[in-house]
Amino acid sequence: MTLILHPGRSRSPQATGGSIGRCTIKDLLYALVSGLISGSLYASMALGLAIVYGVIHVFNFGHGIVAVIGGYLTWLLLSQTGMGLIPAVVCMLVMMFFFGLLIFKLTLNPLLKTPNWEFSTIIFLLGLGILLENLTLQAFGPRVKYIPPFFEGSLKLGFLRVNWHEISIIVIVLVFVVLLNLFLKRTWFGKAMRAVAQDMDGARIVGINIQQTFGFAFALATAVTGFSGVLLGTKYYMTPHIGWDWMVKGFVIIVLGGLGSASGAIYAALIMGIIEAYVTLLLGSLWVWPAWFVLFVVILLLRPQGLVGGRTL
């Protein structure tokens, strides 16, 4: 939770920002584009939180480190085994899926049966997050790591200049969201997850194995979050500690979107990405955190149920 701001590796000019008087239409457009890019990154990251909360009603306070581990695993596979990017990501996804399944079966499943589960799962996941964060630190050291961009070069649209890599991130996140949506709506497991999210007793009556669905949802969310870590690692840099900042942003996003609503999380992520870009442009990057806090309080006071309140997944 150390609060060092991360302006990131963004190559857009808005990173320097901080002057209300001097910004032109061009700056405003740049900020919009860069807000869309970071918004889609946040969307990929917040989805895992929304899935876990939606299905299991557990708030994953170890979410940030899961993203970091996903990024580091991919980095390790890329740099040590000489794999291509796609095989490395697929390997990472499979590993993260089983890692999530293992954590759920061994720890969360018994915890959920205790009377005080709501509280103990929060503290447990917090402790687990710190444990994993510091193990990552031991294994990889505190040095900053980068995942190379997917594509080199940039696209010129009039005066607007956007990296191909950043366009590819938006496309990847879009495809990813569509696939996830198809999974949730069309496949048996996806339908089971939604059923459990909407009405646990009803789901049990029609013969859905709740424990299994919980485990599957947690494992899926772990893999999804690991994938978002890869995307974040290509756009920004990675250290073992950066997960906290991502996670706190993810919290604000899913509260704005409505807890446990996957589509709400996506809208909220785009909104917050754009707001963040404009705050950086107009007030300077140091004001980004207070802005997140103020927005969070405003959301909670005006619309605690979020943008798409009531709907689950």
Partner 1 sequence: MGDQKIGMHGMTDSLNWKRIAIGAGLLLMAVYPLIHGDPYIMHIFILFFIWSLVASNWNLLMGYAGIFSLGNIAFLAIGAYTSGILSKNLSWSPWLCILLGGIASMALVTVFIGLPALRLSGIYIALLSLIFADSLPTILTQTRSLTGGAMGLHDVPPLFEGILRIHSYYICFALFLVMLTIIYRTIHSATGLAFVALRDSREFARSLGISEYREKLKVFALVSFLTGIVGGFYVHYLGDISPTTLTIEPFLLTIAMMEMGGIGRFPGAVLGAVIIVFGNEFLRLAGTLRLALLGALICAIILFFPGGLMQLVDWIDTRIAARRRRAHG
CB of 127 to partner 1, least distance (A): 3
Contacting partner 1 (CB under 8 A), which of 87, 187, 286, 309?
Answer: 286
**DSSP secondary structure letter of residue 108:** I
Give the closest residue to 286 by CA, choosing from 68, 15, 36: 15
Letters for 248-277 (x = contact with partner 1 by CB under 8 A, - = none) are x--xx--x---x------------------
In sequence order, the β-bridge partners of residue 156 are: 161
296 touches partner 1 by CB under 8 A:
yes
Query: Per the structure block, which two tokens stand in for 258?
Result: 């409505």
Q: Say whether 118 sits in a helix, a strand or coil.
A: helix
Of 15 and 283, nearer to partner 1 (C-beta) is 283
119 touches partner 1 by CB under 8 A:
yes
Query: Per the structure block, which two tokens stand in for 10?
Result: 């963004």
Contact window for partner 1 (CB under 8 A) among 6-14, 27-35, 38-46, 123-131: 123-131
Q: Which string of DSSP letters, residue by residue, matches 157-218?
A: ETTEEEEHHHHHHHHHHHHHHHHHHHHHHHSHHHHHHHHHHH-HHHHHHTT--HHHHHHHHH
13/132 Cα distance (integer angstroms) = 35
Of 122 and 172, nearer to partner 1 (C-beta) is 122
Letters for 93-112 (x = contact with partner 1 by CB under 8 A, - = none) are --------------x--xx-
Contacting partner 1 (CB under 8 A), which of 138, 156, 205, 310?
Answer: 138
242/64 Cα distance (integer angstroms) = 8
Task: For the beta carbon of residue 17, count every other beta carbon within 10 angstroms.
Answer: 23
Q: Alpha helices of the chain — where are they, by DSSP H?
A: 25-56, 63-81, 85-103, 109-112, 117-140, 164-186, 188-198, 200-205, 210-235, 243-257, 262-283, 288-302
178 touches partner 1 by CB under 8 A:
no
Give the closest residue to 277 by CA, choosing from 4, 23, 3: 23
CB of 29 to partner 1, least distance (A): 28
49 touches partner 1 by CB under 8 A:
no
Of 90 and 300, nearer to partner 1 (C-beta) is 300
Residue 146 near residue 237 (C-beta atoms within 8 A): yes
293 touches partner 1 by CB under 8 A:
yes
309 touches partner 1 by CB under 8 A:
no
Of 193 and 252, nearer to partner 1 (C-beta) is 252
290 touches partner 1 by CB under 8 A:
yes
199 touches partner 1 by CB under 8 A:
no
Residues 6+ apart with CB under 8 A from 91: 73, 77, 83
122 touches partner 1 by CB under 8 A:
yes
198 touches partner 1 by CB under 8 A:
no
113 touches partner 1 by CB under 8 A:
no
Of 6 and 191, nearer to partner 1 (C-beta) is 6
- Please give the residue ranges that form the binding site for partner 1 (CB under 8 A): 1-3, 5, 59, 107, 110-111, 114, 116, 118-120, 122-124, 126-135, 137-138, 244, 248, 251-252, 255, 259, 286, 289-290, 292-293, 296-297, 300-301, 304
